[in-house]
Amino acid sequence: MEFIPVFRPLLGCEEKEACNQVLDIGWLGMGKNVGEFENELQNFIETKDRFVACVSTGHAALHLGLIVAGVGPGDEVITPSFNNIADFQAILATGASPVFCDIENDTLCIDLDKAEKLITPRTKALIVMDYDCVLCDHDRIRDLAEKYNLRVIHDAAHSFGSRYKGKRIGSFSDICMFSFDPVKTLTCIDGGALIVRSEEEIEKIYEMRLVGMGQPPKIMYQNQRAWTYDVRHIGYRYHMANLHAKIGSAQLAKFNEISSSRQFVCKYYNEQFKELEKVVTPKTDFNDITPFLYYIRVPASVREGLREHLRELNIDTGIHWQPGHWFSLFKNCRKGDLSVTDTIGNEILSLPLHSCMNDEHIERVVKGLKSFNWG
Ligand SMILES: Cc1ncc(COP(=O)(O)O)c(C=O)c1O
């Protein structure tokens, strides 16, 4: 029986052709294809008043986003504890400390009432993350940030392609980031993007992603480089390479297929799992959502048994995630009441979701869950 992984990218001859084109030209580092991909992303998120910079990973985007937000040593950044390690490490990398906040039981996104209670004079920014296939309350987030003069880093690693109140994710936040890592809805093999509102911020990001070299993108986007330049900012080797950008463009060109196939699977899962009393499914109709992951919640006492049952049927499952405050590195970080996070951390389970699942794969997952002895 074929193994069904949790993730599998939709790759075809378009991506292979894209790689060949870049390899034939031979300008492998940052260049023309990165500039093109940035323009395509800007059009895709339907914005004219934002600036897009592609970087090497989502983690790099978070790190640079926090730096341009002015986060540094001694500051605190409030983040859901139920988030990716990349977010916590990016905060630490600036010299600031994460402050762990709880999530809402329904959306699994940051609980803003609890976040407000954690704000102190040291709080510089909030990281908010759209979890899997549910979006945060971004209007309330903006109001809270304005009230306390905080910057907002919107981690949209899971919500690329979705719409919030009709607006594309990436088009309305203070600072927004995407990840295009190997398992994401749209992959560049590895990559990320940062979307900011001001020219000053984007210029700084252009330099910081190139170990601080003040190489003008205008020159680099012609597959050329300047040999003399100034260095004005701290920098990292965080730029995106042409090969990755070209794969991203090929993926973007078939994004409708990627998005609709994932929506189809998630809607079907939600419908089918209604009859399973002990399974809690995501609270969304998926209509404006391009889902990255499909998660369910099951009682903590049966989770390992269910995983084992599916493993025997050659179906993989994932855990996104163990909460941040459970890790040794973060045990001394400030935190609020994390009761929902602690519960969810033991109940959450990701099921296979790809952009190319055939009917047999989908049915096997559904039957796998239905054939489990729920007790
Ligand atoms: C919510 C979230 N933020 C950030 C990241 C980091 O992105 P990357 O893997 O591209 O560094 C991930 C990666 O899985 C993620 O899920």
Q: Where are the domains of the chain?
A: 13-253, 255-370
Backbone angles phi, psi at 199, to 5 degrees: -65, -35
Pocket of ligand 1 (CB under 6 A): 57-59, 84, 86-87, 129, 155, 157-158, 179, 181, 192
The residue whose two tokens read 């809607």 is 267
Contact 177, 155 (CB under 8 A): yes
Cα→Cα distances 210→42, 56, 233, 242, 277, Å: 21, 11, 10, 14, 52
Task: State the residue for tokens 């009441």.
Answer: 337
**Separation of 250 CA from ligand 1 center, angstroms?**
21
Assigned CATH topology for domain 13-253: Aspartate Aminotransferase; domain 2 (3.40.640)
Residue 4: per-residue pLDDT: 98
Residue pointed to by tokens 């040999």: 227
| Global model pTM greater than 0.85 | yes
39/16 Cα distance (integer angstroms) = 22
Measure the CA–CA gap between 278 and 276, rounded to whole angstroms. 6
Nearest C-alpha to atom 14 of ligand 1 is from which residue? 84
pLDDT tens, per residue, the chain with 375 residues: 999 999 999 999 999 999 999 999 999 999 999 999 999 999 999 999 999 999 999 999 999 999 999 999 999 999 999 999 999 999 999 999 999 999 999 999 999 999 999 999 999 999 999 999 999 999 999 999 999 999 999 999 999 999 999 999 999 999 999 999 999 999 999 999 999 999 999 999 999 999 999 999 999 999 999 999 999 999 999 999 999 999 999 999 999 999 999 999 999 999 999 999 999 999 999 999 999 999 999 999 999 999 999 999 999 999 999 999 999 999 999 999 999 999 999 999 999 999 989 999 999 999 999 999 998
Q: How far apart are the CA of 373 and the centre of ligand 1, in A? A: 34
Closest Cα to atom 8 of ligand 1: 58
State the distance from the centre of ligand 1 to the C-alpha of 57, rounded, in angstroms: 8
Identical fold for domains 13-253 and 255-370, yes or no, is no
CA of 276 to the centre of ligand 1 (A): 31
Token pair for residue 279?
């399974």
CA atoms within 13 A of residue 1's CA, in its CB half-sphere: 13
Task: Choose one of 59, 176, 180, 295 to mutate for the ligand 1 pocket test, by most ligand atoms within 8 angstroms of C-beta.
Answer: 59
Write down the CATH superfamily of domain 255-370: Aspartate Aminotransferase, domain 1 (3.90.1150.10)
Find out whether 320 and 295 touch, Cβ atoms under 8 Å: yes
Ligand 1 centroid to residue 360 C-alpha, Å = 30
Q: How far apart are CA 331 and CA 324, in angstroms?
A: 9
- Listed in order, strand segments (DSSP E) in the chain are 51-55, 76-80, 97-101, 123-129, 151-155, 163-164, 167-168, 175-179, 192-196, 294-297, 348-351
Q: Exposed/middle/buried for 132, CB within 10 Å: 0-12, 13-18, 19+?
A: buried
Q: Please choose from 89, 133, 179 the residue to mutate so as to test ligand 1's pocket, defined by most ligand atoms within 8 A of CB.
A: 179
